[in-house]
Amino acid sequence: MHTVRDVAANREADRLMLLPVSERVFAKKPRPLRVATGALLVLAGLAVVPATPARAQNFFEELFGIGRAARPPQPPRNVPVQPPQPVEPGAPAPGEGAETRPSVPAQPRQPVVLRVPAEDNVAGQDLLLNGLNGSLKIERSGSAYTAQMTLPGTKISQPTENCTVKLDGGKPMPLSAEGRAQGVSRFSTASAECPLRFEILDGSVLATPLGSGSACTFTAADCETKPSGLWGPGAASLLPQAGEFDTARGVADKAVRDNYKIMTQRARGGDIRPIVQEQAAFSSDREQACRTYAREGAHGYCHLRFTEARAIALATRLGANTATPTAANAPARPRRSRAPVEGMNPDAQGAEPFADQ
């Protein structure tokens, strides 16, 4: 005999049989275990998903790639959008291949100009070849210059013996001005026995033979001379100024380097190599000429004068105005100490009162 519960169960079974298959699964009553598992999953999802509905929607949109990450960025509102500018054919696109250059072009480097020695700065001085022997004295008479010169040498018949020859018999020789082709004043002698060129440096003269060789031969006097080199003061008068020469040598060396760099920058292609060779030859010639100067290692006078002449020559070739020096190649002379006066500290000799005030 069927109970009321059995009858209700049969009716429910008959109703499910009439439903489609896809709906029968959801129409069945869940078992207690499945119900508990589903409840836990729902609670875990609620813990992960943001609390507000809007945040939950954004979370799922970003998760499935349909949110803001999938949409192109939108320009701010109420901001006018610049229309694309037409680009000329062949021109690079903005931001591509464009070089960043300063608005004001950089000024080219200027040559360094040292003070050019005056023509008469050696007038009346007794100069020695390499500071050792011989004699050269230049005198000025109005705008004209003359020179008296005694050349040291060796005997032709006995090369181990020394000899001296007075050029033009010891009479004053007129000097012909040759301008300033290399920046410093140039003079030449018209002596048939030994024609020479003089370059007037600071306190010295650089002599160069104008003949076919570096030596002048005086057959009648049985003497061969080599007058080329630096004619300057003796070593005894140069040693006290060694510190000043060293300071001035640093200025001159820097001027040579700067002017040499400018000259190579201005040169083109094959013109650079001769400049490099010339600079290397200058260094070699300076060492060759100055190694025989008396006590050169102690005062460095010859190297200084050669370097100054080179710096002035380079500045002249670069078209600089040599009448206006841009670097001081003569160090300032030390101040003389004043004699002590009343009121000075007796323990500080030569001190000036209130010097630090």
On whether the CB atoms of residues 193 and 167 are closer than 8 A, the answer is: yes
Residue 53: pLDDT above 50?
yes
* Selection from 285, 278, 287 nearest residue 259 by Cα: 278
User: pLDDT per residue over 305-336, tens digit each?
Assistant: 999 999 999 999 999 999 999 987 755 444 44
**Structure-token match 């010891």, residue found:** 170
* Amino acid identity, position 262: I
**Structure-token match 């440096």, residue found:** 201
Structure tokens at 193: 């026995």
Please tell me the distance from the alpha carbon of residue 150 to that of residue 114, in angstroms, as a whole number.
32
pLDDT, residue 37, reads: 58
Please tell me the distance from the alpha carbon of residue 242 to that of residue 301, in angstroms, as a whole number.
8
Backbone φ and ψ for 186, nearest 5 degrees, come out as: -125, 140
Q: Which one is predicted more confidently, 251 or 20? A: 251
Q: How confident is the model at residue 125 (pLDDT cuts 50, 70, 90)?
A: very high
